[in-house]
């Protein structure tokens, strides 16, 4: 009887161990699928914007022949989360972008996915591409893409992008920036990101 009780206990422990392993596997798989879904949604946003842009033709205005340099007006837009929460202000002209947190927003640059996605996957590759173009003589160094972070401690005060390029690049940057700050905003409320 004692042996039977011990055997039942061993079998029960094995079953619990197997269930715990299965739980860990399922949790990891869910995380993988969520990441894949997020990335797919981001790609879909870029495709949607590209389709919208290509579905109508813009009227090309003749360029002025005046030699006087006039300061270009900046286009100001607010990038919002899907919920409608204002995230960042984006000011653009023909060559530069300035990103500043919306009123009341604080973004620590160590909050994911700022470094891993926006810096490493978007801004750094664009900068590298233009540096290579400068090396091969395709563009002048003053025309090359660059970015600068203005911080207070680790909090972003301003992200400045210079020589972003064409309209397509601007759309890609706008989508990537909005998505990044939305994800950062979602993480701010979580206990592990509480300041």
**Same domain as 5, residue 98:** no
Q: 69 in a domain, yes or no?
A: no
**Same domain as 127, residue 49:** no
pLDDT of residue 195: 44
Q: 86 in a domain, yes or no?
A: yes
Which of 154, 188, 174 lies closest to 89, judged by CA? 174
Q: 64 in a domain, yes or no?
A: no
Residue 57 Cα distances to 46, 85, 169, 173, angstroms: 18, 32, 18, 21
- How many domains is the chain partitioned into structurally? 2
Q: 65 in a domain, yes or no?
A: no
Helices (runs of H) and strands (runs of E) counted in the chain: 3, 5
**Same domain as 108, residue 35:** no
pLDDT of residue 147: 93
- Structural domain including 51 reads 1-56
**pLDDT by residue for the chain (195 residues), tens digit each?**
656 676 677 777 788 888 878 788 888 888 888 877 777 777 777 776 666 655 544 444 455 544 445 566 778 989 999 888 999 999 998 889 999 999 999 999 999 999 999 999 999 999 999 899 899 988 888 889 999 999 998 999 999 999 988 888 889 999 999 999 999 998 876 544 444
* Residue 166 neighbours by CB distance under 10 Å: 8
Q: 116 in a domain, yes or no?
A: yes
**Same domain as 5, residue 44:** yes
Which of 180, 159, 179, 162 lies closest to 170, judged by CA? 162
**Same domain as 80, residue 29:** no
**Same domain as 151, residue 94:** yes
pLDDT of residue 193: 42
Give the β-pairing of 155-162 and 75-80.
unpaired
């Amino acid at each position: 009887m004692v042996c039977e009780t011990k055997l039942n206990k061993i079998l029960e422990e094995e079953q619990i161990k197997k269930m715990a392993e299965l739980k860990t596997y399922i949790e990891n798989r869910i995380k993988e699928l969520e990441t894949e879904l997020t990335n797919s949604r981001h790609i879909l946003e870029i495709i949607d914007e590209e389709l919208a842009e290509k579905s109508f033709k813009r009227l090309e205005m003749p360029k002025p022949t005046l030699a006087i340099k006039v300061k270009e007006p900046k286009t100001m837009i607010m990038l919002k989360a899907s919920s409608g929460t204002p995230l960042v202000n984006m000011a653009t002209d023909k060559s530069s972008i300035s990103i500043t947190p919306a009123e009341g927003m604080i973004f620590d640059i160590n909050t994911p996915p700022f470094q891993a996605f926006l810096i490493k996957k978007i801004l750094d590759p664009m900068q590298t591409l233009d540096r290579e173009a400068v090396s091969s003589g395709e563009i002048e160094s003053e025309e090359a893409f660059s970015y600068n972070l203005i911080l207070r401690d680790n909090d972003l005060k301003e992200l400045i992008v210079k020589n972003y390029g064409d309209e397509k690049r601007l759309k890609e940057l706008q989508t990537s920036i909005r998505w990044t700050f939305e994800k950062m905003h979602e993480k701010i409320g979580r206990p592990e990101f509480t300041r």
